[in-house]
């Protein structure tokens, strides 16, 4: 779904809305990915009792490509848990990231995901959210933007689909892990508000329209900053190093950390 008019969500009293991003399942290898997947499944199991909507804000997978009848092996546990949440009535909004930008209709058909391929505005209990994975937004990064236009072109996807799945998947995984233009080697240091390009992008948006919250992934660094009068910028971090997420209780949005050892919540 491309960005259209704001999506109004009627918040259910007593429920919460969760935001997570950048799990990168499949990387850097199967054993470590499986261990992180188990942690994330425990997190999903924990939130299922009070979750109204789960926002997956990009890069759930380190590489994903859908052939007509084939999808990548693995991820059975996390997809099974997400199916359980979806079947229980929890709405799951999936934003494609720069690693899983070749998401098509499989997750929508199988798990009833609502798929977003661009930024989207949501109104939740009279709070205005601007939500996006974050890749390609803001100033600079022209090389990646050109690469993204190429990879999202229908002809490029059609040509890639003619590769045998074993060859295409191996090539995709290699590029995802090795090519900085595709995956990026995220700088885990805060660069300052004057250099963080998603903050600059958000502040530019505020010049013409008010948002209570900007919520992004991609950067891999948890951030919670006030960037204007009544406006906050949150980056969700990742599930590789930080195991962080955001939760909205109808009034406030907070950035939290899931303790992967004790499986309990801690304020970040």
3-state SS of the chain: helix, strand, coil percent to 5? 30, 25, 45
> What pLDDT was estimated at residue 70?
73
**Within a domain: 234:** yes
| Model confidence at 231: pLDDT above 80 | yes
Model pTM score = 0.86
> pLDDT digit string (tens) for 177-228?
654 433 344 457 888 888 898 999 999 999 999 999 999 999 899 999 999 9
Tokens coding 148:
């993204």
**Within a domain: 179:** yes
Q: Identify whether 62 is preceded by a cis peptide bond (ω within 30 of 0).
A: no
| Structural domain count, the chain | 1
Q: What is the CATH number of the domain that holds 66?
A: 3.60.21.10
211 φ/ψ angles, rounded to the nearest 5 degrees: -130, 135
Tokens coding 171:
């090539």
Q: Listing from the earlier edge strand, what are the strands of the sheet with 222-228?
A: 7-9, 120-124, 127-132, 213-216, 231-236, 222-228
Q: Is residue 108 packed enough to be buried (19+ CB in 10 Å), middle (13-18) or exposed (0-12)?
A: middle
> pLDDT digit string (tens) for 161-191?
666 666 656 655 656 665 443 334 445 788 8
Q: What sections of the chain are H helices per DSSP?
A: 30-47, 76-87, 106-111, 142-151, 154-161, 165-178, 197-206
> pLDDT digit string (tens) for 68-118?
777 777 789 999 999 999 999 999 999 988 877 677 788 889 999 999 989
The DSSP code sequence of 201-246 is: HHHHHHTTS--SEEEE-SS-SEEEEEEETTEEEEEE--TTTT-EEE
User: Distance between terminal CA atoms of the chain?
Assistant: 32
Q: Residue for token digits 């190093």?
A: 241
Domain that includes residue 257, residue range: 7-267
Distance CA 3, CA 100 (A): 18
83 φ/ψ angles, rounded to the nearest 5 degrees: -65, -40
DSSP-based three-state secondary structure for 146: helix
**Within a domain: 75:** yes
| Model confidence at 143: pLDDT above 90 | no
**Within a domain: 2:** no
229 φ/ψ angles, rounded to the nearest 5 degrees: -65, 110
**Within a domain: 1:** no
Tokens coding 114:
């609502």
Band of pLDDT at residue 146, cut at 50, 70 and 90? low
> What pLDDT was estimated at residue 64?
74
**Within a domain: 237:** yes
Cβ of 18: how many Cβ atoms within 10 Å? 20
**Within a domain: 108:** yes
Relative to beta strand 253-258, strand 231-236 is unpaired
> What pLDDT was estimated at residue 184?
43
**Of the listed ranges 93-107, 128-142, 252-266, the one predicted with least confidence:** 252-266
What integer best gives the mean pLDDT of the chain? 84
**Within a domain: 15:** yes
């Amino acid at each position: 779904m491309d960005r259209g008019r704001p999506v109004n969500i009627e918040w259910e009293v007593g429920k919460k809305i969760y935001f997570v991003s950048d799990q990168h399942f499949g990387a850097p290898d199967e054993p470590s990915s499986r261990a992180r997947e188990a942690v994330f499944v425990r997190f999903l199991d924990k939130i299922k009792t009070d979750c109204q909507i789960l926002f997956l804000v990009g890069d759930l997978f380190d590489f994903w490509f859908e052939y007509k009848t084939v999808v990548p092996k693995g991820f059975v546990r996390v997809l099974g848990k997400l199916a359980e949440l979806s079947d229980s009535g929890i709405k799951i909004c999936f934003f494609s990231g720069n690693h899983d930008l070749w998401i098509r209709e499989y997750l929508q058909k199988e798990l009833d995901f609502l798929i977003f391929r661009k930024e989207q505005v949501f109104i939740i209990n009279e709070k205005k959210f601007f939500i996006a994975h974050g890749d390609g937004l803001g100033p600079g990064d022209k090389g990646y933007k050109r690469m993204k236009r190429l990879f999202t072109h229908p002809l490029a996807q059609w040509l890639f689909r003619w590769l045998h799945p074993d060859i295409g998947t191996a090539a995709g995984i290699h590029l995802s892990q090795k090519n900085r233009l595709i995956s990026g080697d995220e700088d885990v240091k805060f660069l300052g508000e004057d250099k963080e390009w998603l903050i600059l992008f958000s502040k530019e948006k505020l010049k013409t329209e008010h948002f209570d919250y900007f919520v992004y992934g991609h950067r891999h660094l948890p951030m919670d900053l006030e960037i204007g009068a009544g406006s906050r910028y949150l980056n969700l971090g990742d599930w590789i190093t930080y195991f962080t997420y955001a939760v909205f209780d109808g009034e406030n949005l907070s950035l939290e950390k899931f303790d992967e050892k004790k499986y309990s919540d801690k304020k970040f």
